[in-house]
Chain A
Amino acid sequence: MLELSILFPSVLNGLTSGAVYALIALGLTLIYGVLHIINFAHGALLMIALYGVYFLNQKLGLDPYASLPVMVPAMFVLGYGLQRFVIGRASHGKDENIILVTLGLAIVIENLALYLWRSDTRTIETAYTFATVNILGAMISVPKVAAFAGALVVGAILLLLLAKTDLGRAIRAIAKERHGAKLVGIDVEHVFAMSFGIGLACLGAAACFLLPAYYVSPQVGNGFILIAFTIVVLGGMGSFAGALAGGFIIGVVESVGGLWLGESLGQIGIFLIFITVLLFRPQGLFGARA
């Protein structure tokens, strides 16, 4: 049996990774909730955001956390444009077309990065990269604690935005009843693009919190995309509370699973959860029946 002294830090570590996963999944679940499509380009777009943070740091000497006010709007604009001018146009009213287009975008973005920046793994050095704090005897790295807090803040902002603003009301209206929303005068195409933009803005924030303790390479998104899918499916497609809870669950499963089965096989736990949930409870823990 595992010692509590090993298990406890492992669970804490899982919770902090889970917070960043949750942030990535929040964007994915927002896009799904509104557009009813799965954005297969989500991982590739996260990779783009990570490169953004990396280059801001290398070329301008910007601290990853100071990049937040740059990366979040930049990713928002990218998302708005992508949905408005590329993805939206390709749909022809069929969801199957959209998933193919997002898959195509993922391939293009990932290989463009490979072409431009080669497959080198890049990291940044900050004063706090290797700093740790002591939480009840467990040593947790400072960037991970910051990511944990940041994810909670972003999640809270997103929930407020959806609950209190006109845009939030329009998004919820479209998620529930697309045609009805159109009939009462909501500009559906605009709200679609706004949702996609906000979904990508979450990735911008996630990238800023992730990079101090992580790395970037053209393939880095692949590692996250199935994890984010798993979280969204586990929490229930379109559910924010589900995405947050799912993120923490998956983070802990990965961390404890890795401890128990080793790094490579630990990932299996995530996919087994993914497949099990998809098969037996596709609506997820918090979601309505899809």
Chain B
Amino acid sequence: MTAPLTPLDRPNSYIGRSVPRPNAKRLLAGRGRYVTDIRLPRMLHAAFLRSPHAHARIISIDADAARALAGVHLIATGADLARICTPWTGTLDHFKGMTSEPQLPLPLDRVVWAGQAVVAVVADSRALAEDALELISVDYEELPAVVDLDEARQPGTPRANPASQSNICFRTQLDSGGVDEVFVAAAHVIEQQFSFGRHTPVTLEPRAIVADYEPDSGMLTVHHATQTPYQFQDLYSRHYNIPEARVRVIAPDIGGSFGMKLHVYHEDMAVVGLSMMLGRPVKYVADRIESFVSDIHARDHRVQARMAIDADGKILAMDVHDATAIGAFSTYPRTSVVEGNQVIRLIGAPYGFTSYRAALEVVFQNKVQTSQYRAVGHPIACAVTERMVDIAAGRAGLDPLAMRDRNVIADDAYPLVSPTGYKFEALSHQACLRRLREIMDYDALRGEQAELRRRGVHRGIGIATFVEITNPSPAFYGVGGARISSQDGATISLTPTGEVRCAISVTEQGQGTEAIIGQIVADQLGLAQEHVKVITGDTEVTPHGGATWACRGAGIGGETALQAARRLKANILAIAALVLQEQAAALDIVDGQVVSAASRQPRLDVAEIARIAYFRSDTLPPGTQAQLTVSHHFAPQGYPFAFTNGIQGCSLEVDVDTGFVKLLKHYVVEDCGRIINPMLVDEQLRGGVVQGLGAALFEECRYGETGQLLNGSLADYLVPMAMEMPDIVIDHVETPTADTILGAKGCGEAGTAAASACVLNAVNDALTPFGASINTIPITPARILKALNRY
């Protein structure tokens, strides 16, 4: 056998090294190719007439004038598309008892949110299609709209869908037992209510799709700005009754996704149907106003929470109720209840208490659908838990860091099962806490805070510990009947000149998937990374796989690439052994050379093996069939999820006269297991933190009483910009998962998971001298002034 080498010992060691992304240069030169940029011969453009009402019956649609407009090719209504597209329902079997109404690309007789697409127009240009929209008149009969979450839950309130019994989509509960007894006996009980505003992902490239149905071959090609090409191949195939092998989905450069571009959108499904009806390519790009009213929203929650602690500040129990409103139906195919489900299962996750009870109530309302967006449920669970921990610390007379030190699960206590059923392999809360104290210079910050407070400057320090769900197994979606793969596949080839090509099912949205896959393949094969070409995002090219979501790209995709590269290496060395009349086990590959494993002496170029195998197979021993292409699949086994953990801290200043918050600095200590590219991990964390900071202070989809979105533009909906954002200091603890050779877990959602909790705690910390308290996110200046009784 070869000497055991750890990945970091190898000469072509790319695992753990910060290298720039090879595919980023063309984006810097303006040579990205986004779906927005694609133009095909004979391509037409779609536009949609949208409902002005949050809830109304469609009485009639008059599109004659629009149809007569020169340049208009097709006007389609719900009934037209229903003839070729089968309905879908956003439920999963493992969410027992959940309901949702069937959906179609366009509604047949009733609209359920303001902004819902009602009629499609296809024309020579987008502008012309929009001209035609102005000529369509729809007669509506308004129905009572269910807008507010609390109102939707009241008995006797109107229903978002009149045919249903109530506005309840799903209810579930968790109960470890004995919770009431623990509360009765506790030294302190803290009870708080929390409110989280809806927000929306706001990818800079809006949703975009070009559907190209070729009637003669019955082939559908969809250029789709999505994270999950195979999921959409399956959906287009099943709902439009096209054999799966004749559906090709291509996801080229994607201008941001964050979970938003993996859900089924009505317009996207409609565009596929429109292309089939016309036999021509049809393009649709949401404009920004459309994005605000039709992209998924997220995180519309009200949480009631109780926590019991003993006299020493030890947390004994939590009891929570989470209510969330999701729009008029559950999103397909991942549902809209995953977020709430993760809220109640992640609350308290970093801490060692065992008495836990939670109830979840998911309700319908007449707003756009909510669903999975970066860090699904984590920010809510984290904000509730960490605010409660801070209040409990105050009650127990403990410093927030000391309180956490006393209560987090000890680093040597793993493996263990949380009271909510999560199986933790190995987390590192204590190590992360120690590192955070150092990088924040925590004691000095506290000293400075006290000093400034005496001078009327109100700074706050916030701490938030978190647990993140990554690397999901089929336990996430597969068990519920969703055709969403938890495995990935790679096809890796040695080309005739000795280059390597790896086509893999995980996808790239800018986080660096292609870069890290290239690093892993180069590392494992013993090549320089520039000789590895990685291909993603095309169902015609890569094997089937789950793609990129839920922080699975590095952990699952990376392991797929690693195992595939090891198999290819074995095949290369098998041929080398024949050529060199040597044992394969006595050979290795370093820098593109086959070498003696023991002496590292070069023996033969890898390119020479490729040349012989492809062009002079006659010189190999009879019966030899060189396999220089390997296809390999990997599905996670062992733990159902690879949980990660970390802790964040922030320092900010509150202007108590204006309610404005200035973020001064943010700190993250994170443990995502084996780090493949430290620079890319840090940048994932920074980007994630800033999304969480936007949620904490600015972002909220505000609705009027009639269910109209009031701030649906980039001038009115506030997103975090460079000026308001702080520098972010990052450190790592590395606890690899033992479930894979690579040991990587995910990191893409960690930043978002705890950033808003941190800010919530810091603002409340700053307001301590005033006895003011805020449990509402976003923390706007008006809410701060209200808490201070100055508004």
* Chains A and B come from one and the same complex: no
Interface residues of B (CB under 8 A from A): none
